[in-house]
Amino acid sequence: MRNFWLKWRREIIRGGLLFVAVVAIGLWVTNLVRGGRERMVSEFKDRFGAFSVNFDAPGRLHGDIWQWRGVLSPAQTIRIRNANGPISVERADGDRAEVRVEKSWQRSAPQSVHLVAVPSTSGVTICALWERGGGGEAGCGPEGNYQGFGGRRNDVAVRFTVRVPKGVAVDLSTMNGALQITGVTASLNAATLNGGIQVEAAGGPVTVKTVNGGIEAALGALAPGGARLETVNGGVTVQLPEHLNATLDAESVVGRVEAELPVQVTGTVDPKHIHGTLGAGGPTVHVSTVNGEIRLVQMGMAVPVKEIQPHGRHPRPVVPPPPPPPAQPPR
């Protein structure tokens, strides 16, 4: 043993020091990352903590209406940028687009959120801007540029109601709020971080994304760009028309994928992933979720529609009363 120590002591000491150094550096990096993460979470809560409010929560005030109207041609796009609140879209009767904005608040001043319309040759961008500390505010530019938002502990929420002419493209985004979209016949891009999405669209490429929320989509005629429906935490139900020529690619990491359609599956059958064609094939309908079920059905089939619960709130189940006891026969 003495000879072994004398022969290898330098390597043993060097290895021990290296091990201690690696452990020390690892602990330092871990604490640094943990501290940075905690500071980031703390800053996020401090800056945006009030952005988890429900627009229609009890005790909140509503009002401070803002409206915009303008003529848009089928070659143009209407872009809506929101940070806290839902957005709904429906078809307009003529060639005039209409945007109605309502605010909801509890403690913060509704005047701390401003509405801005920025017209351009490609259409119009309309943004809700929360004031920053020191009097500044977020930016809104043409082509949908939306440079963040401010407002520490600002609990003002904004609801957009948009009426879009036929053939006008739609581009929507919010951080915290549900999206409900009908009547879009051109390109559609819609995204939210926290909220479910309901969409009915036909005639243009469709891209719909959420992080926390389910997606319910009814897609008519597909454009060459196809459709992309993505969520991280939530299920997806897609209704497709009969006799559709399309390529399907649907995948769930945790849940199952069910296709109640005549899909010609390509490759092996996988309960979590379906890739195949409908009819002669065509534009791709891409559907994906991490945690949730995917259901592909034919349009017109009875599909239970669940009310979108914004901001992760779920109603309590209604428990029916127990049946009355059977009547006792007279003695």
Residue 189 resides in a domain:
no
- Whether the pLDDT of residue 33 is over 50: the answer is no
Query: Are 80 and 37 in the same domain?
Result: no
- The tally of domains found in the chain comes to 3
Q: Which of 272, 268, 312 is nearest to 290 (CA)?
A: 272
Residue 190 resides in a domain:
no
Q: Enumerate residues 6+ apart whose C-beta is below 8 A from 249.
A: 274, 275, 284, 285, 286, 287
Position 311 confidence tier, pLDDT thresholds 50, 70, 90: very low
Average pLDDT, the chain: 81
Which domain covers residue 25, as residue numbers? 2-51
Residue 247 resides in a domain:
yes
For residues 268 and 16, which has the higher predicted lDDT (pLDDT)? 268
The mean pLDDT value for 145-165 works out to: 84
Question: Dihedral of the CA atoms 76, 82, 86, 90 (nearest 10)?
Answer: -10
Residue 106 resides in a domain:
yes
pLDDT tens-digit series, residues 67-80: 999 999 998 999 99
According to the model, what pLDDT value does residue 48 have?
A: 46
Residue 104 resides in a domain:
yes
Query: Are 43 and 119 in the same domain?
Result: no
According to the model, what pLDDT value does residue 288 have?
A: 97
Residue 160 resides in a domain:
yes
pTM of the model: 0.76
The mean pLDDT value for 138-165 works out to: 84
Residue 259 resides in a domain:
yes
For residues 37 and 147, which has the higher predicted lDDT (pLDDT)? 147
Distance CA 56, CA 110 (A): 15
The mean pLDDT value for 172-201 works out to: 96
Give the SS3 label for residue 328: coil
Query: Are 43 and 111 in the same domain?
Result: no
Distance CA 265, CA 278 (A): 9
- Whether the pLDDT of residue 139 is over 60: the answer is yes
Position 19 confidence tier, pLDDT thresholds 50, 70, 90: low
